[in-house]
Amino acid sequence: MIHPKEEIHARPADEFDSPDIGVRYDLTTREHRRLSVVTHRDGSRTVNVYRSDDPDACAQSVRLSSAETASLIDALMPAHHSPNILHTTDLGLVAERVELSAHSHWNGRLLGDTRMRTAPGVSIVAVLRRAGAIPAPAPDFRLAGGDTLIVIGTREGVEAAVAILGRE
C-alpha cells in the first residue's frame, strides 16, 4: 500500500525506441514493494506490481486506456470529488478555481464588493483572464464574466465563497 505521507522514490527509466513502448517509471514504497508504470506513446499506461519475495518478477500487470488512466488519476487525487480543488495542506487550507459566468452578479463589479475577506474569510490570490494571470488583485479590480478566481481559505470558507461568487 502506498501511504500518502510516505516518501516515494520515483525515477524515470530509459525511454525505449520501440513505437509501442514509451517511458517507464519505477516506484518503491515504504514497505519495499516495487511498482512500475509504463507510459506508452499511444497514451495508454501499463501498471506493473512486482512480487515482494522476488522484486524482479512481475506478479500483476494491468493495461489502461487513456480514459481509464484519467479515471484512475481522478480516484487517486486526495480531492477527487472536486476537479476545481488545487491543493489541500495540513493546515486545513484549500485552493480552488471559481469561474464567473457571463451572467454573474459580479460581472463588471469590483472585487472589493464581494467582501470575500470579511464574509467567508477567504483570499482571492489571482484572477485568470483569457491567456493571462493577474496575481494579488486589489479591491478595485473589476471582475468580468469568464474570469477564473483562485480562492484560498478553509474548506467552509471556500464553499461559502463559491456560493457567493456563483450568484447570478
Q: What's the CATH code of the domain at 146? A: 3.30.70.1450
Cell of 54: 522476488
For the chain, the distance separating the N- and C-terminal CA atoms, rounded to the nearest angstrom, is 46
47 and 23 co-located in one domain: yes
- Predicted local confidence at residue 5, as pLDDT: 35
Asked which of 76, 101, 129 is the last residue of a domain, the reply is 76
Who contacts 99 (Cβ-Cβ below 8 Å, separation ≥6)?
146, 147, 148, 149
Instruction: Concatenate the DSSP letters of all residues of 12-40 into one string.
Output: EEEEPSSTT--EEEEEE-TT--EEEEEE-
Judgement on whether residues 70 and 101 belong to the same structural domain of the protein: no
Distant-in-sequence, close-in-space partners of 66: CB < 8 Å, separation ≥ 6: 43, 44
55 vs 63, which has greater pLDDT?
A: 63
The pLDDT tens digits for 70-123 are: 777 767 765 445 656 655 556 678 888 899 999 999 999 999 999 999 888 899
| Residue 87, pLDDT score | 54
Q: Are residues 60 and 109 in the same domain?
A: no
Backbone angles phi, psi at 164, to 5 degrees: -65, -45
- Domain boundary (76, 103, 123) is at 76
Does residue 129 fall inside a structural domain? yes
143 with 133: CB under 8 angstroms? no
Cell numbers for 77, please give them.
Answer: 487525487
What pLDDT does 6 receive?
Answer: 36
- Domain with 20, as residue range(s), is 9-76
Task: Report the pLDDT averaged over residues 119-138.
Answer: 92
Round the average pLDDT of the chain to a whole number and report it: 79
Distance separating alpha carbons of residues 102 and 7, to the nearest angstrom? 44
Domain boundary among 18, 46, 76: 76
Is the pTM higher than 0.75? The answer reads no
Gap between the Cα atoms of 152 and 154, Å rounded: 7
Q: Compute the average pLDDT of residues 135-157.
A: 93
Both 90 and 54 in one domain: the answer is no
pLDDT digits (tens, 9 = 90+) for 24-39: 788 887 777 888 888 8
What's the grid cell of residue 152?
484560498
Same domain, 90 and 70: no
Same-domain pairing of 109 and 38: no
Return the C-alpha cell found at 119.
464574509
Kindly indicate the confidence band of residue 168, based on its pLDDT and cuts at 50, 70 and 90: confident
Q: Are residues 35 and 105 in the same domain?
A: no
123 inside domain: yes
